[in-house]
Amino acid sequence: MPTFKLDGKTIPFEPGDTIIKAAYKQGIDIPHYCWHPGLSAPANCRMCLVEILPKAGQRPLSLDVLELDPKTGEYKVKQKPKLQPACYMAAAEGMEVAADTSEHVVRARHDVQEYLLLNHPVDCPICDQSGECSLQDYWLLHMKTQKRMQDEPVHKPKGVVFGPTIVYDGERCVMCTRCIRFMSEIAKDPVLDMRERGNLNEITVAPGRELDGHYTFMTEHVCPVGALTTKDFRFKARVWFLRTAPSVCQGCATGCNAHLDYDPRYNKAYRYRPRDNEAVNKYWMCDEGMLSYKEAHDGRVIDALVGGRVAPVVKALEEARSLFAGVAPTSVAIVLSARHSLEDNWAMRELGTVLLGSKNVYVSGRPDGYRDDILIHRDKNSNARGVQQIAPGARPLKALLDDVAASRITHVIALGADAPVDPAALGGAKLVVVAAHAGPLVPLAAVVLPATSWAEHAGTYVNAKGMRQVSEKALEPLGASKPAYKQIAELATALGYEPSWSKLSQIRSQLMGTAGADAPAPPGATVVA
């Protein structure tokens, strides 16, 4: 692989990479506003300027610059190297680049930052970006001083509603055009553009349109400052109180990698942010996925139910035992869930096939839905492939309904309360449900045991491409809920069996022995199975 030198460090690059991208791949951050690894480079923020050192014997590329001599008070012509934008300059073999080590670059960063802050309002206290704002970060890294301008700043429109999800603040905008480029390049819906010139520049929506569609949240995410904010997160939380856990979106079978931001003090999830993963979602997520963090709280089952009434978990377990007393294994069915993790499903399969000795395994999940060619998958279940891996013979829920109607099955233990079809026929069987979210099976169940959602325990999910991905725990369990594998272990104990697992690590080590399943991936990682 060809290499170049950045501040004396050797950086390898793929032919065609720009300097900033090659450095980015090595984990070196050249300061930038407008450049984004997933978008084209317009080179308009000028923050990533670097000095390209001339080859031996060559003349340096230089400019004549007027500089004030403070002693005489006169301007003098001085030669300075012409700095190049690292986001536009392709790396070349043997090139020597100076960034942090060049006094001209350091000066340029300082001055660009000063320009960007010239008209910036004193908004940090009320700005949602505060705490993760590039302007703040780069001020401390590259400017550190007060600006010299004393004039009244230029005022621009604030609080402009761009659409059902996004609000725009012109004064905070640094005109990086990332949002414009995202909408045209990734979402293929060029609805944003720029108008006016100079310091009156502002972002605007195409006349007669508003910023809508399936990828509007991404414009806020790519915004390096607080110019675009989402109505969903606006004024809800301050980011420095949020902690983050590497998570996997549960919205569909794509399995986008995400950061789940939550506040440990209120045990509440506040938002999803995409987590970069070239193999799955690159840098993006869809609106539905971004909002699916709400399912950590909405529609949850957090109490045990016996006959539809809230009851202590102990009571519910007792009820389950009496329901299952003396039942022949052939008339018991277990239902795995395409929305629960591999570990939960493994525990349920273990309970059904090993402890109960039943051979009737079914799988449930949500019905299919909208799809597109960017990220959104038709299958709205996060772990359908995973269930297929650990229980290849599992039959669809439809088959169970027929079996119950024909009285071949009288007792059912189900993981998850979802159903792709109307499950009313299940009412004919005694149904025990272990579920994190309320669904069509809950009203039919004799006993419901509360399980934690994906946000409250670590779990492995297999996406449509067969990649095994680990989502980490963020929140503490809500209400009486426990991780499903624990709840299933307690159910097994209540039914008079000795479960072979009580911890995630035990399940994971046993999963490794299961045919068709490999070693679990490290936290937050994606493994192609």
Partner 1 sequence: MSQIVLDKLRERFGTAILETHTNYGDDTAVVDRGVWKAVATFLREDPALDFDMPVDLCGVDYPNRMPRMEVVLHLYSVSKGQRVRIKTRVGDDDMDGAELDSLVGVWPGLNWLEREVFDMSGVRFRGHPDLRRILMYPEFEGHPLQRTYPAQKTQPLVEYRTEDEAGVPLNKLEPFGADEGMPFGRKGLPRDGTSPAVPGRRRSLTEDN
Partner 2 sequence: MEPLDVELEEGELELPAEPMHLNMGPSHPAMHGTVRIVLELSGETIVKADVQIGYLHRGFEKMCERGTWAQVFPYVDRLNYVSPMLNNVGYALAVEKMCGLVVPDRCQWYRMALGELARISDHLTCDGAMAMELGAFTPFLWFIKAREMVWDLLEEETGARLTHSFGRIGGMASPPTPDFKGLCRAALPKILELVEEGERMLLKNRIFLERLENVGTISGADATALGWTGPCLRATGVPYDIRKAHPYLKYDEVDFDVPVGTKGDTLDRFLVRLGEIRQSKRIIEQVIEHMPDDGPVNVGDPHVILPEKNAVYTTIEATIQHFKLVMEGAKVPAGECYSYTEGGNGELGYYLVSDGSGTPYRVRIRPPCFQITGGLGKILEGRMLSDIVPTFGSLNMIGGECDH
Rounded least distance, CB 125 to partner 2, Å:
7
Tokens 């998958």 map to which residue?
377
Using CB distances below 5 to 8 A depending on partner kind, what does residue 136 bind out of partner 1, partner 2, none?
partner 2
- Kindly state whether residue 136 participates in binding partner 2, applying the rule CB under 8 A: yes
Minimum distance of partner 2 from residue 106's CB (angstroms):
15
Using rule CB under 8 A, residue 241 touches partner 1: yes
Residue with smaller CB distance to partner 2, 141 or 323: 141
Tokens of 175: 């005109």
402 part of the interface to partner 1, by CB under 8 A? no
Nearer to partner 1, 238 or 282 (CB): 238
How many contiguous H segments (helices) and E segments (strands) does the chain have? 12, 26
Instruction: Supply 462's token pair.
Output: 């297999």
CA distance 227 to 230: 10
Assess 523 for contact with partner 1 (CB under 8 A).
Answer: yes
| Nearest alpha-carbon partner for 61 in 72, 74, 47, 51 | 51
- Dist. CA 127–CA 172, nearest whole Å: 9
The C-alpha angle with vertex 396 and arms to 393 and 400, in degrees rounded to 5, equals 105
> Which among partner 2, partner 1, none contacts residue 523 (Cβ within 5 to 8 A by kind)?
partner 1
The set of residues, in sequence order, having a beta carbon less than 8 Å from that of 364 and lying 6+ positions away, is 335, 336, 337, 338, 397, 414, 416, 418, 419, 420, 441
Phi/psi of residue 238, each to 5°? -105, 135
- Which residue, chain included where needed, has tokens 């038709």? 378
Of 228 and 260, which CB lies nearer to partner 1 in the complex structure? 260
Closest CA to 109 of 81, 78, 85: 85
**E strand or H helix that includes residue 268:** strand 268-274
Quick one: which segment of 134-142, 223-231, 346-354, 414-422 binds partner 2 (CB under 8 A)?
A: 134-142
**Contacts of partner 2 in 224-283 (CB under 8 A):** 238, 240
Q: How far is the CB of 507 from partner 1 (least distance, A)?
A: 13
Determine, following the binding rule CB under 8 A, whether residue 145 of this chain makes contact with partner 2. Answer: yes
Residue 229 CB, nearest approach to partner 2 (Å): 17
Contact 355, 492 (CB under 8 A): yes
Side chain identity, residue 410:
T
Does the footprint of partner 2 cover residue 522 (CB under 8 A)?
A: no
Select 71 or 240, whichever has its Cβ closest to partner 1. Answer: 240
4 interacts with partner 2 by CB under 8 A: no
Site string for partner 1, 248-267 (x = CB under 8 A): -----------------xx-
Binding site for partner 2 (CB under 8 A): 117, 120-125, 130-131, 135-136, 139-140, 143-147, 238, 240
Binding site for partner 1 (CB under 8 A): 238, 240-241, 265-266, 476, 503-505, 523
